[in-house]
Structure 1
Amino acid sequence: MENVNNALGNLNRRMTDRSPHPPISFELFLREMYKTPEIVLRNVFQVFHDMISTYLGSGVDEYPNDPESIHYVDYNCSNLFEVDSDRPFFADRIFANRLVNLVEGMRRGAQQNKIYIFNGPPGCGKSTFLNNLLRKLESYANCDEGMRYETIWRLDPSEFGVTIDKEPLFEQLALMLGGERENTLNHLHERFATTGSDGLVEIPCPSHDHPILIIPKHYREIFFRDVFKNSDFLETLFSSKEYHWVFREKPCTFCSSLYRALLSKLKNPEAVHKMIYARQYRFNRRLGEGISIFNPGDRSPENSIIHNPLMQRKINALLKDSSEVFYLYSRYAKTNNGIYALMDIKSHNTERLIELHNIISEGVHKVDDIEENVNSLLLAIMNPEDQNNVREFRSFSDRIEYINIPYVLDLATEVKIYRHTFGSHVEDLFLPRVLNNFARVIISSRMNTRSEALLEWIGDPKKYNLYCDENLQLLKMDIYSGIIPSWLTEEDRKSLTARRRRKIIGESDREGISGISGRDSIKIFDDFISTYYKQDKLINMSMLVDFFLRKKRDLMRSIPAGFLDSLLRMYNYTVLQEVKEALYYYNEKQIERDILNYIFAVNFEPPAVELCTYTGEQLKITEDFFESIETRILGSGVGASRRWSFREETQKDYTSNTLTQDMLVENRPITDTALFRALQERYVQNLKQRSLDPFLDNDNFRRAIKDYSTNDFKTYDKRIRDDVKYLMRNLRKKFGYTEQGAKEVCIYVIDNELAKKFEI
């Protein structure tokens, strides 16, 4: 019993903490506005922007100091679309940047006279996106950080010389519910006039007007100058377009007519302003307050005009006039300064879109003889084929802003979907890079095979045939993911201007609308794992190629010709370099001595015997001496004439730049000169390229890899054991392989004779 009482007490306290803020007087509201104008003076567009910014944060720009950066930012969308969601939506980098650009435009004032339609193919997650977005907006709008105020009138009958009876129904409920009346009945009577315990008649604005709008437009400028006279916000208010609505918008017809009637009746603006209160504008999608979303099958009610006879009687009794103020409104008023959303433009939603025409064009809606203001954020989602439903309405063409939601084009996001669907452990089933390569195959089906922007930039794709396909899709995937590949030449890296990068990203507007859908990719991935997963073997690249070439040959129609071959070549070359890097070890001091001796020796004609001034070694300078070092720097396939010319170039560079400029003028040690670093880099790189040579035809080396970490491994020669241990350790440490993965990738490299295939 004690546990139950404690739990119930804690629940009551938590619910009390989350209860709506009580209404505050107009004067207190203005004080709040003065303290935090950026928070209080927000319409739905600014709140929408602030909500997106709050959940996404500032994002990460991997190249912040790049003068050619286009600020194509990596936003973490999980808090917005995934956390606390039964069906998460995974926004790729392209769409996240598109969404941020959209809301930034809203914040700057590009707000009205538009409907924003999120357009995308079936299976891209449009419905999930909109549902999750509105759920987060509802949560944000109802918390302190996203709170906004709406107008509520609290009229004192004594000011009018009348007495208003309390409503019998509400009062009976109040007696039954005791002290919880205010909180419990909030949603029940929020749209109805009630007589409070203090005898005041409460009338909420039917259109959820911002309280500041009740100030007549022609008084607002001087009023704000008085309020913010000594505030830094004054200049922002008058100069920033995001606050133009404060001066431009009018209150709803009911509030403006009631305001005029009260001024006429009481002859005292102060008394009228004391009857204006502000309360929290709470969104409730289920009740259609602040947010309404309509599905194509939802029929429109026969009577779209809402009357409130009880409220009208009280207003008439107070004002003693039945024709001055009318309390009636349409269902659009329930989402004024909120969100009105259509889920797919078809069936009844096509009719709703047509009804929005005047609202989109003029911002008003006719309710009987009354004009009703509608300043809502209008959203919709649409399949591309449904555009025919609005194409015939030409007047809509400049009122619709389409925002594309494509199939995922960002590699990291596609992989994230697989991890979410099949569990984070799914990566443990693959050799490194293979899971990413599966995602690349899927994404390739969603991309165009020709990119004018990339061809203008790169020219001939064949120069990157070790890293890319002939359509440059692999390069574009990296750029879509925010990566500028390290394998690009310095010339191409420098020529990747901001204009070119924007043009490449801009091509995404025409991609992701066909190919393998998100739903289908999950089914295909499930089939892939089921076919090839074995407990004693990781899924490798050979299996991936086999799956698409033999098991799923029908999918090859969606995958660009030659893409799979290029992907395999890129993978093979990359893992070969990893194994070579992991196996490479050499005495760094010996490399340094060789280079210093060589730089010294090029200044003498062979044969000669000289004491090297850099190492202190006595050198026998012969053709064999030069050939042994030049072979390590240039490679074994280089002829004598190339070695001679390289020797002359090195000697010329040494005498004209290294010795005279770097060492004598700038006082650098020789090991800190450009010549030394260039020779060292070529020396090391060539050694790495040849690091596998001693083991390629050594069957014992291959068997030792297979037997690594077993008792049989102890039977091998110590030198082979040391080499295999070194190789395994480096693959795990440098490239993130597991022990099993390191063994399998080495066997893959050896059995497929990759070193011979990529001999230069």
Structure 2
Amino acid sequence: MYENPALPKKRESIFISSHYGGFTVKIFQMLILGRSKQNMDTKSLGIIDEKTRAEKAVELLNGEIGDYERLKPITFNNYLDLVESRPADMLRNVFQVFHDMMQANVDVSQDSILDDIDEFNLIDYDCTRLFVEGSESPYFADRLFANRLMKHMESLRHGTQQNRIYIFHGPHGCGKSTFLNNLLKKFEEYANTEAGMRYEVVWRLDIEQLGGHGRAETVTAIERLVELIEKKPGGKVDDEVSEQCIATGFNTAHIEIPCISHDNPILIIPKSHRRRVLDKLIKNDEFKWRLFTEKQYDWVFNAECCTICESIYQSLLERLGEPAKVFDMLHARPYYFNRRLGSGISVFNPGDRPVQQNVITNQMVQNRINNLFRDSNLIHYIYSRFAKTNNGIYALMDIKSHNVERMVELHNIISEAVHKVEDIEESVNSLFLALMNPEDKKNIKDFPSFSDRIQYINIPYVLDVNTEVMIYHNIFGRHIDDNFLPMVMENFARIIISSRLKSKSESLLEWIKNAAKYRRYCDENLMLLKMEIYSGNLPEWVDNDDRKALTSKMWRKILAESETEGNHGFSGRDSIRIFDQFYSRFAREDRLINMPALCSFFRNIVTEMPKMIPDGFLESLLRMYDFNVLQQVKESLYYYNEDQISKDIKNYISAVNFEIDSSARCIFTNEVIHVTNEFLESIENRLFADSITMAKRQEMRNDVLKEYTTNSLTREIMIEEKDISQTKLFESLHERYVYNLKKRVLEPFLGNENFGRAIKDFDTTDFKTYDKRIKSDVEFLINNMVTKFGYTQQGAKEVCIYVIDSNLAGKFK
């Protein structure tokens, strides 16, 4: 028991009650003994006269916290002013707000994969602000899932959304719970901001105007409490005193009754009058046209308010006789979302037991309504728990255990959008979301009529290499990059993802007739190619013939396969565990993690877990890495003679316009050209593959001539006024020319043992002993590897030694 010798004993029993535990004891004493008007001896309570740090902190909070101002009710007239000025924001249901939240938090890149089939592209959605920023457990959405999700969200604001439940299903460890928690958190934050705010009905009934007998003067709850306590023997606080004090409220001149279904205030206007009211209120613009014509706004004109609001409206109209007086008592306040309190968002886990009482009433409020309207049968203050999330989100975490019962209960609600509460029909227009593991589909198989009400959205394991790497960065930190050679961590992700894909792709094999020609860059089942496409890339090594064969129909087939992949293989948790093992074993200060270490590690994994990684995939991945790193070294060794390359290409473009054995002046270089097969072949040997037939050469010449006459000259040069070097034809030939020169760039160095030793001795004192030309070549190579491909000096040395020691130039000759 709290004792204070400075206080009269007869008052002590007042402070034992826990009914008003939100007040501190000392402040409570000050309010009661001083009646809020008399000064109190602060020293007797141990309070220092000068401001304490705590008081200064409270003053700071008092000046900075303004949420209560934002949440204050406004009159119906003020709400209509908001509708007039911001109709698109004020006239939104939960589906439209959810869609707006997604659009506001997802960034879109305008870059496309293939110009000729843009409509079938995987859009580059950046979901960082939606799932990562501000989250304790980030969720990383790959490009496939982001496109799938945004497609469903775009359709969310159209049509009859309320007659459907959205089930996100996927295998264990794919991140479903993290995804939904982050999604709901972002929605809660957005819905409580100015951009996402909606208003709900709150009635402020004037007791005096309605002829009630309540006290018209303002009285504080504390004063009323003291008054009631003094009338009780011994000053005892009991339930009767507490109820009377709460019933009194802070201002007994009014009774405030919020809409338990969170209805938009516009729904209080009778349906037959809404169209004319909004027509008069909203100016003629694009939104008004959408409001009156689009399906997504049908609810504005056809939805009905809850039964309690309808009863209050009808009773007030009958009592007051004038609609204007009724609407004077109608107010609007922001619809505040709070998942923890179940306000607007309710999330149920399988282990959460259903409550015993599904029908809720408030006898205190009901008594006050009965006293005010003098009719106990006029207004029934009764509702279900679904009302708390009406116009909000109702979510189930996994359809199992008690959530199966909840899912069954949703059957009629989703079908009819109506829930029976005793004799009353309660409208339920919520966004229903659920998570489901594949094996839990059997829990709803007994409801075939439910199937057309379910929209499944697949959440597979990550199938995008870049997203998988982002997960490693999030778990282990970005500093882990410092321990890897470039491309090695990405290849770790490719091995993990290979276990999640089908080993054979019918669509890819239908598209690429001869997969063996890409053996240097890809596996025989083209899984590496599929990973690139799933990441939004079409590799440069795909030749022109196959690019032309990639029609929109074929593109759709390839992407459709992603719907059936990612449901097996290494889970997200497996991937993190395996990466931790790999990194712990091979990360060292004196040596970077390379491809041989990666392949060695996973060969042991294959032994422990057979059939997880497709046969031959590791060998194909290593071959692709070897080829790419060889090209990097060649690129870094290559000295450009840009003037000569440009001159050769311009002369070649000009020469194909003339007959063999003729002479002509090139209009681009002003040189006189003797057009012979030998002249053309000397340039073609740098432009095209070695040892091509004469027929193939002639075909290529005709292609160059056709492109020049139909596009480069007539459109790009004559109309767009481009220089020949800016045309697509020149750029394409330039790329071919440089590529073929690089193929031979290593040849002068392969037989030179000093060159290999100089690389090993780079950045040491022994490096000074080498020939000036060798030192210059090695420095040029290392510096280019660092600046062009992101290597450290140590990493550049290690990979160059790897290329030479493994004889990669001979391997890919």
Determine if the TM-score, normalized by the shorter chain, exceeds 0.5.
yes
Q: Match for 1:433: what amino acid?
A: M
Give the distance between the partners of 2:666 and 2:82, measured in 1 at CA.
Answer: 81
3-state SS, counterpart of residue 332 of structure 1: helix
| Aligned equivalents of 1:24, 1:5: Cα separation in 2 | 32
Deviates more, 1:219-228 or 1:396-405: 219-228
Please give the secondary structure, in 2, of the residue aligned with 1:419.
helix
Higher mean C-alpha displacement, 577-586 vs 1-10: 1-10
Distance in 2 (CA, whole Å) between partners of 1:614 and 1:106 is: 57
Q: 1:30 aligns with which of 67, 76, 80?
A: 80
Which of 108, 113, 124 is the matching residue for 2:174? 124
Q: Look up the match of 2:791.
A: 737
Q: 1:94 aligns with which of 132, 144, 148?
A: 144
Shift of 1:445: 0.8
Query: Which of residues 29, 48, 56 is equivalent to 2:106?
Result: 56
Amino acid at match of 1:134: L
Structure 2 partner of 1:197: 251
Counterparts of 2:211 and 2:126, CA distance in 1: 60
Residue 445 (structure 2) aligns with: 391
Q: Return the match for 1:314 from 368, 379, 382.
A: 368
Displacement of 1:165 after TM fit? 5.0
**What percent of counterpart residues are identical?**
53
> Which residue of structure 1 aligns with residue 460 of structure 2?
406
1:447 to 2:490 alignment: no
Q: Deviations over 1:537-583 (max 9, x none)?
A: 11111111111113552345111222222211111111111111111
Cα 1:478–1:330 shift into 2, 3 Å: same
Alignment partners' CA distance in 1, 2:129 and 2:509: 38
After superposition, give the CA deviation of every residue in 1:584-615 in whole Å (9 maximum; x if it has no partner): 11534455677789999999999xxx999999
Higher mean C-alpha deviation, range 736-745 or range 162-171: 162-171
For residues 292 and 555 of structure 1, the distance between their equivalents in structure 2, rounded to whole angstroms, comes to 41
> 1:418 is matched by which residue type in structure 2?
Y
What's the offset of the Cα at 1:455?
2.5
In the other structure, the counterpart of 1:263 is 317
2:789 is aligned with 1:714: no
| Letter in structure 2 aligned against 1:735 | F
- CA deviations 1:97-147 (Å, max 9, x no partner) are 222111211112341111111101110111111111111111111111111
Contact 2:786–2:793 (CA under 8 A) maintained in structure 1:
yes
Q: Structure 2: how far apart are the matches of 1:482 and 1:752?
A: 32
Distance 1:437 1:148 in 2: 48
Q: CA deviation at 1:265?
A: 2.0
The aligned counterpart of 2:595 is 541
For residues 625 and 142 of structure 1, the distance between their equivalents in structure 2, rounded to whole angstroms, comes to 73
SS at match of 1:251: coil
The answer to whether 1:694 aligns with 2:748 is yes
Q: State TM-score, norm by structure 2.
A: 0.83
Provide closer, same or farther for how the CA distance between residues 463 and 194 of structure 1 changes in structure 2, counting only shifts above 3 A: farther
| Greater Cα shift, 579-588 or 746-755 | 579-588
Q: Deviations over 1:318-340 (max 9, x none)?
A: 11100111001111111111111
Specify the alignment match of 1:469 in structure 2.
Answer: 523
Residue 105 of structure 1 is aligned with which of 152, 155, 177? 155
**Distance of 1:33 and 1:375 partners within structure 2:** 21
Alignment length (residue pairs): 741
**Preserved contact between residue 340 and residue 378 of structure 1 (Cα < 8 Å):** yes
What secondary structure is seen at the aligned counterpart in 2 of 1:582?
A: helix
Of 533, 546, 561, the residue aligned with 1:479 is 533
Question: Which stretch shifts more, 469-478 or 62-71?
Answer: 62-71
Q: Residue 708 of structure 2 contacts residue 729 of structure 2 at CA under 8 Å; is this kept in 1?
A: yes
- In the aligned structure 1, how far is the partner of 2:85 from the partner of 2:617? 60
The residue aligned with 1:185 is none
Q: Give the superposition deviation at 1:748.
A: 1.1
**Match for residue 272 of structure 1?**
326
Question: C-alpha distance in 2, partners of 1:161/1:597?
Answer: 101
Greater CA drift, 581-590 or 330-339: 581-590
Identify the range of structure 1 (393-402 vs 502-511) with the bigger mean alpha-carbon deviation. Answer: 502-511
Query: Could you say what secondary structure the match of 2:378 adopts?
Result: coil
Preserved CA contact (<8 Å) 1:209 1:252: yes
Shift of 1:717: 0.9
Structure 2: how far apart are the matches of 1:11 and 1:657?
71
User: Structure 1 length as normaliser, TM-score?
Assistant: 0.88
The answer to whether the Cα contact below 8 Å between 1:68 and 1:497 also exists between their aligned partners in 2 is no
- Aligned counterpart, 1:180: none
Question: Which one-letter code corresponds to 1:451 in the other structure?
Answer: S
Maintained 8 Å contact 1:600/1:613: yes
Letter in 1 for 2:168: F
Change (3 A) 1:162 1:677: closer
- 2:554 aligns with 500
What secondary structure is seen at the aligned counterpart in 1 of 2:126? coil
SS at 1:431 equivalent: coil
Q: Secondary structure at the match of 1:746?
A: helix
Residue 724, structure 1, aligned to residue 778, structure 2: yes
Map 1:359-398 → 2, pairs under 5 A? 359-398=413-452
Residues in 2 aligned to 1:156 and 1:657: alpha-carbon distance in whole angstroms = 82
Deviation larger for 167-176 or 322-331:
167-176
Q: How does 1:47-446 map to 2 (within 5 A)?
A: 47-63=97-113, 66-164=116-214, 171-172=221-222, 195-197=249-251, 199-228=253-282, 230-446=284-500
Compared with structure 1, are the counterparts of its residues 64 and 741 closer, same or farther at alpha carbon in structure 2 (3 Å cutoff)?
A: same
Alpha-carbon distance between aligned partners in 1 of 2:156 and 2:701, rounded to the nearest angstrom: 64
- 1:168/1:122 Cα in 2 relative to 1: closer, same or farther (>3 Å)? farther
Distance 1:163 1:705, change over 3 A: same
Question: CA 1:461 to 1:662, structure 2 compared with 1: closer, same or farther past 3 Å?
Answer: closer
1: CA distance, partners of 2:86 / 2:670 = 74
Task: Trace 1:644-723 onto structure 2 (pairs within 5 A).
Answer: 683-723=737-777
CA drift at 1:74: 1.6
Output the aligned Cα RMSD: 3.9
Unaligned runs of 5+ in 2: 1-50, 227-241
For residues 64-88 of structure 1, what are the alpha-carbon distances to aligned partners after superposition, in whole Å with 9 as ceiling and x for unaligned? 8545432522222121111221111
C-alpha spacing 1:680/1:158, structure 2 compared with 1 (3 Å): closer
Aligned to 1:581: 635
Q: Which residue identity does 1:262 align to in structure 2?
A: L
Provide the residue aligned with 2:25 in structure 1: none
**1:628 Cα deviation after fit:** 7.9
Aligned to 1:181: none
Q: Distance in 1 between matches of 2:478 and 2:667?
A: 59
| CA distance in 2 between partners of 1:724 and 1:585 (Å) | 13
Cα distance per residue 1:215-273 (max 9 Å; x no partner): 12222222222222645433211111111111121111111112112212222211111
Contact 1:254 1:325 in 2 (8 A): yes
Check 1:63–1:634 CA distance in 2 against 1; reply closer, same or farther (3 A cut).
Answer: closer
**Residue 365 and residue 648 in structure 1: after superposition, are their counterparts in 2 closer, same or farther (change >3 A)?**
closer
- In 2 relative to 1, CA 21–753 (structure 1 residues): closer, same or farther, beyond 3 Å? same
In structure 1, the residue matched to 2:38 is: none
Relative to structure 1, is the Cα distance of residues 204 and 627 closer, same or farther in structure 2, using a 3 angstrom cutoff? closer
Question: How far, CA to CA, are the matches of 1:242 and 1:623 in structure 2?
Answer: 68
Is contact 1:167–1:194 with CA below 8 Å preserved after alignment?
Answer: no
Q: Which amino acid aligns with 2:102?
A: I
Question: Mind listing any 5+ residue stretches in structure 1 that lack a counterpart?
Answer: 177-187
TM-superposed CA distance for 1:706, in Å, is 1.0
2: distance between equivalents of 1:687 and 1:734? 18
Moved more, 701-710 or 557-566: 557-566
Deviates more, 1:490-499 or 1:665-674: 665-674
AA partner of residue 86 (structure 1)? E
The residue type paired with residue 377 of structure 1 is: L
1:747 paired with 2:801, answer yes
Letter in 1 for 2:460: P
